[in-house]
Structure 1
Amino acid sequence: MVEINDAFPGFSVDDVGVARAFYGDVLGFDVREEMGGLQFSLPSGQGVFVYPKDQHQPATFTILNIVVPDIGAAVDALNAQGVVTKIYADPHSFGTDERGIAWGSKTGQGPDICWFRDPAGNVLSLIQS
């Protein structure tokens, strides 16, 4: 068995400076430079590493789920900062409304959730707790 001291998730971006501004200023994480990239901690204490990658390809799946108490207010706050939360054009894919929110609590199809992209094109989500 491997002796493990810690583990943390990571993902790539094409511009660390832009990512620092997005994850720090827009999403509000305490971002710091570390190991040639960026590090921030989730409210649970889990660390996340964001690293630069030449020829970055955005993740086509959700890389980070952010739990919020009021998804409508969180979407409004992101939209006010220029973040597009309506990223899926086909309403049948996830049943999203005009703001990009899939109201799972109303349809019995899971949680209330909304997807958006970071400046590098990676998919993130807001999920109402």
Structure 2
Amino acid sequence: MLTNSKAFTTYSTNNIDRSKEFYNNILGIKAKKNKMGLLELELKNCQVLIYLKEDHKPADFTVLNFIVHNIEEEVSLLTKKGIQFETYENELKTDSRGIHKGDVGPVIAWFKDPAGNILSLIEEI
């Protein structure tokens, strides 16, 4: 029924301008406010809209994943730009740089945007 439908994703922030600066200047993604005041991320194969929510509470799950060719290189570049990668000790245990290389699942590293939303880098297989 919805197989051929266009789709997009949304999530909230508590500060549109700070989010715009983060996505533009730190992640290098063109982000602009649209006519409705929503922040649009210009990505190759995915439409993302970020909306202002006064009582914003960040999700406790990943809201956006980026597929990368070399996760080690991307983590290094983003760390130099001030990104702090999350470290975990559970079944998704990460190394000291925040990279999970377990037996199950992809090589992945999680970080947060200024509103506390969880984003990730996933190494392309």
Secondary structure, aligned partner of 1:92? coil
User: Which structure has greater helix proportion?
Assistant: 1
Q: Distance in 1 between matches of 2:84 and 2:120?
A: 12
1:24-73 deviations in Å (ceiling 9; x for gaps): 111111111112121013222x2110111011100110000001111011
Which consecutive unaligned segments of at least 5 residues does structure 2 have? none
Q: Which residue of 1 aligns with 2:73?
A: 73
Q: Which residue of 1 aligns with 2:98?
A: 100
Which amino acid in 1 is paired with 2:23?
A: Y
Q: Which residue of 2 aligns with 1:43?
A: 44
Q: Distance in 2 between matches of 1:14 and 1:93?
A: 31
Q: Which residue of 2 aligns with 1:17?
A: 17
* TM-score (normalizing by structure 2): 0.89
Q: Does 2:93 correspond to 1:91? A: no
Instruction: After the TM superposition, list the runs of 4 or more consecutive aligned residues in structure 1 that deviate by more than 6 angstroms.
Output: none
Q: Which residue of 2 aligns with 1:30?
A: 30
Q: CA separation of 1:78/1:5 partners in 2, compared to 1, >3 Å: closer, same or farther?
A: same
- Give % identity: 39
Which amino acid in 2 is paired with 1:54?
A: E
Q: Which residue of 1 aligns with 2:116?
A: 121
How far apart are residue 92 of structure 1 and its match? 2.9
Which consecutive unaligned segments of at least 5 residues does structure 1 have? none
How far apart are residue 5 of structure 1 and its match? 7.0
Q: CA separation of 1:102/1:5 partners in 2, compared to 1, >3 Å: closer, same or farther?
A: closer
Q: Distance in 2 between matches of 1:5 and 1:84?
A: 36
CA-based RMSD: 1.9
How far apart are residue 10 of structure 1 and its match? 0.5
Q: Is contact 1:13–1:52 with CA below 8 Å preserved after alignment? A: yes
Q: How many residues align?
A: 122
Range moving further from structure 2, 34-43 or 55-64: 34-43
Q: Is contact 1:91–1:97 with CA below 8 Å preserved after alignment? A: no
Which amino acid in 1 is paired with 2:116?
A: G
Range moving further from structure 2, 24-33 or 65-74: 24-33
